[in-house]
Structures are given as structure tokens and as C-alpha cells.
Structure 1
Amino acid sequence: MDELRSARRGQPALPPLAPDTYARGHAAFEALSDQRALIGRHLSARLAGRGAGPVSLLSVGCGDGSLDAPQAAALADVSPARPVRYVGVDPYEPSTAAFAAAMAALGRDNLTAEVHTATFAEAPVGGAFDVVTFVHSMYYVPDVAATLRAAHDLLLPRGELLVLSAPRGALNLLVDVLAPPVDEHRQWFSDDIAAGVAAAGATPEETVTLEGRLSLDGAGDEVLDFAVQARLTPELRPLVRAYLEAVSVACPTSGVLHVPHPVDVHCLRRAA
């Protein structure tokens, strides 16, 4: 890390990832991590506790629907008489198109799905929701506390706001050092979410940490670029790879190196 800081000292910001490059890198990154499966199981367990009545969910940063479509199907399959409303928001049009296609492919008559290609602040979302989720999307908002307040205002009584965000651990120290600013601010991590909750005057439930792992086996340039949220130069990539290997641990059974890849789940509930 000291070598990386030294290499970047006095240098202009690295170029950000273009939307299509971000999407490809994200897919390659997730293919080497078990975190998405952990998140899916965690969300399924939470949503299963909502009973069999009508349910509505807003997913901010929905991406291509690969995480949300299984949740929507599970909610709809509780009962064919159960109305399910599922809304996605994402600023990247190819992702929202894939989200719409994934929801349509479910073929559930009791599922109403919609998607908006926009930021959360700009999305024309109407109505209120039982659940609002930000899965790895709070990093990019202009103001964490203001976003939390706006999302909380969309909740129905006894609704819950779930913000899943990475802690500022070994992996994300790379982002702090190498990522360019997002709209003139750094990316927000889990400690920023906790501070935003306090600034918003909200009372959170206990934070849950899901202990994911990122494999380095087969990690190419796209994965390294996504890990740092920037287009790396040829000179920096070996340093980034060496850093990841230095902070990685070996799987006790396979011996494959992996980097700790945790995510914190912050939950806010609306009073009855």
C-alpha cells in the first residue's frame, strides 16, 4: 500500500470506469466472489418473514436483476393471490433493460414489475414500499444522510430500509487510494453509512456482517480495475495484484487464495 501511495503521489486522478466497462468488470468480479449468494440468502430470509400479504419492494441500484429476480419470484410464489410490486432503479440503461427482461421472464401473474433508468434522486418512483434496498449502491450518492431520509420517507408503516455496504477493510483501502472522486466526493463505505444514520436522526437495528470471499484465481485486468473503481495503468496493476496477494488468505481445503470480501447490512425500520 505504501508503494501504491508513493506511485500516486502528485499524480492526476485515474480515469473512472465507463458504464459498460463497469458492468463487465462487475460481472467478472462477482463471478470470483461468493458474496452475492450470501446476500441473496440473507435477503430471502428477511423477506420470508413478511408473511403472505401484499408486498412492495424498491431496489435502488438494481443492476441487471440477477439478485432481485429470485427475490421477486420467491415473494410471488408464497401465494398466487398475493400482489407483489417490485421496482428497480439504476442509471445504466442496458442494466435496466436486463432487469425488465428478467422480471418478465418470471411469468408470475401476481407480480407487477417496473424499472427506471435514473439515479435515486431523479427516479419518478411513486407510492410507498414495505422494503427499500440499497445493495452496493450507497457508495455513489451525493449525501448519505439526505438519501437515507428520502428512502425512509418511502417506507410504509413497519417497513424496512436495508443498506448493504462494504466496510473500509483491506480490499477497499485500494478504492480510497486509487479511485477518482464521484461527483466531487469519495466513495462512501459502511462507517459513512453509520454516520449518515446518526446524522439523519434514525435508530438502526444491529448491523449484520456477511463474511464473503473474493478469489484471486483467474482475476484479470477487469477484476483489478473494478476492485479499485478506476482504469489502472500498466505500472499500477502489478502493485495492486501484489497488494491483494499480500492481504489474502489461503482456503484451508483448496489452497486457493482469496481476499476477505465482507458486506455490512444496515437496517432502519419505520414505526407502525
Structure 2
Amino acid sequence: MRQDDGPGLLDALREAHRGAGPLPALAPDGYARDHAAFEARSDQRALIADHLCSRLAGRPNGPVSVLSVGCGDGALDVRVAARAVAARPARPVRYVGVDPWAGSADSWAAAMAGLRCDALSAESQVATFADARLTGRFDVVTFVHSMYYVPDVAAALRAAYDLLRPGGELLVLSGPRGVLNALTDVLAPPVAGHRQWFSEDVARGLADAGLRPEPTTTLAARLDLVGASDRVLDFTVQGRLTPRLRPLVREYLAAVARTDPAYDGPRVPHPVDVHRVVRAA
């Protein structure tokens, strides 16, 4: 299958799904489990961890506070926190994680507690960003693949910016509408009445919120979906696929996969854009 067959296969998926109604959404426990399996097939999380660690390493000396919105199970934040503490053992680090599902928030808290570091204080909240009870100001606020789900992008960005100390930075990591998210755009069920927001929506939201980001950085990850389980494919499209759609999804992914000398087989491009805004000192 040629890479240029992708658009035609997207059209075939649209036609096959026409009039069928939204796919069933992923249940919270299944979402967390399938997310972990999905991430295990990508090198993106390691790239994100490196990028966030470099941002924390560039912070001035002194205590640092981080808010992770949509923190998930802690698989990412525990890497970042561990490296931040190891780099400057005497520096106090405050980490706050917010996630709407209790299972993920509890896993996040347990993962952070497992670091057993006196310099690190970590607290989690089971809440959406809009409902979170947050005190104080933060040096860093992150949305890692969580801006997709907010009701209003510009309002969320403005609220996050307002939580920053002078000199603090807002980091929003979102996937662009490339070949992978084009598939999601066709098949993902609505979230609270809206489609998922992608990197392009974040850029518009920043402009609407009156915020001036630095030039966008793109982390060029790759994702191995050859032979992926049905549940991983479901996570890829953010909904439970039907038997009719599943083979078409596999055919599309095979068409857009690329051979890269750095890998031992075809990989689907899995980039993430980093939008960074620094609050004026």
C-alpha cells in the first residue's frame, strides 16, 4: 500500500461510518490501560520527558512548583520529577497533579510517593482543570495531551497563564492534525459536545486569549502500530471500533506508515507540538 493511498482510505472510513452514530467512548479504566499499551509502542514519551526536564533544568535556582493538568498515572511526571530532584538535590520541588479520573490520580500520587525524596512534595486532585482547587502560583504549568478535552481552549489557556508566577512558563503539548490525528478526527466520538482540539486549535486559542507564545517546537516521534492489539487501535481513534471499521483502520495505518533507517520496520509519524508561553517578569 502506498503512502498516498491515505486520503482515499480516510474517505472510505468516512463512508463506512456515515450515519452510524458516534463510536462508544473509552471507559476511564480502559482508557488508562490502553493508553499505557499505546505509549509502549511509541518513542514520544521519552522525547517529552527529555524536553520537560530541559525546561526545568533551565529554571533559576530556588524552589520550583509544577502543575500537571491531566496528569494521568504519573508515568511521565515521575520521570521528570526524579530527574529534576537528582539534578539539584537540595532544591525543593512542589508537584501538583490534576486528573478527572480517580484511578489515574491515585496512581500518580503513588508513583510520586515511590520516589521517596524529602525535597519533593506531591499532591493530586481528582478534578477537571476548571473545577480544581489550586492554591498559590506555579513556575511551570503543563498540559501534556490534555488540552484535547477542555470545553474552551482559549479560556483554559488564559486560566493556566493566570496561575503562573512572573517568569513562569506554560507548556502545552498537543498533537497536530497529521496523518494520525486525521484518523482520530474522522472517528473519535465527541467530548462533552465538541470534537477533540489539536495543536492548530491551541495556536488559535493562544491568539484568542491574547497570549504570545514562543516559536512552536515539534518533537518528531514515531509509533509502531504493526500488529497492534484491537484495544491499542481503539485508543488510537479514541473510541471502540466496530468490526466493519477495524480492517479499514489497519489498512489506513499501513498506508501512512513510513520506513525510517532509525527503526527496524514501518512507523506512523507521531509528532507532538510544544507551545510555550512565558509570563512577563
Distance, in Å, in 2 between the alignment partners of 1:115 and 1:271 is 28
Give the corresponding residue for 1:211: 220
Give the corresponding residue for 1:236: 245
Give the corresponding residue for 2:187: 178
Any gaps of 5 or more consecutive residues in structure 2? Answer: 1-9
Structure 1 residue 14: Cα displacement: 0.9
Give the corresponding residue for 1:156: 165
**Alpha-carbon spacing, 1:253–1:158, altered in 2? closer, same or farther (3 Å):** closer
Q: In the alignment, does 2:238 pair up with 1:223?
A: no
Q: In the alignment, does 2:196 pair up with 1:187?
A: yes
Quick one: which of 95, 101, 112 aligns to 1:86? 95
Question: Is the partner of 2:114 in helix, strand or coil?
Answer: helix
Distance, in Å, in 1 between the alignment partners of 2:256 and 2:86 is 42
Structure 1 residue 95: Cα displacement: 1.0
Contact 2:32 2:73 in 1 (8 A): no
* Letter of the structure 2 residue corresponding to residue 175 of structure 1: T
* Letter of the structure 2 residue corresponding to residue 173 of structure 1: A
Contact 1:52 1:78 in 2 (8 A): no
Q: In the alignment, does 2:14 pair up with 1:14?
A: no
**Alpha-carbon spacing, 1:106–1:8, altered in 2? closer, same or farther (3 Å):** same
Q: In the alignment, does 2:45 pair up with 1:36?
A: yes
Alignment of 1:61-80 (within 5 A): 61-80=70-89
Contact 1:24 1:222 in 2 (8 A): no
Q: Please, what TM-score do these two structures have when normalized by structure 2?
A: 0.94
RMSD: 1.1
**Alpha-carbon spacing, 1:9–1:270, altered in 2? closer, same or farther (3 Å):** same
Give the corresponding residue for 2:267: 258
Structure 1 residue 254: Cα displacement: 5.0
Q: Please, what TM-score do these two structures have when normalized by structure 1?
A: 0.97
- What's the CA shift string for 1:141-192, capped at 9, x where partnerless? 0000000000000000000000000000000111111111100000000000
Structure 1 residue 81: Cα displacement: 3.1
Any gaps of 5 or more consecutive residues in structure 1? Answer: none
- What's the CA shift string for 1:34-77, capped at 9, x where partnerless? 00000011111111011331100000011111110121122223
**Alpha-carbon spacing, 1:219–1:159, altered in 2? closer, same or farther (3 Å):** same
Q: In the alignment, does 2:278 pair up with 1:269?
A: yes
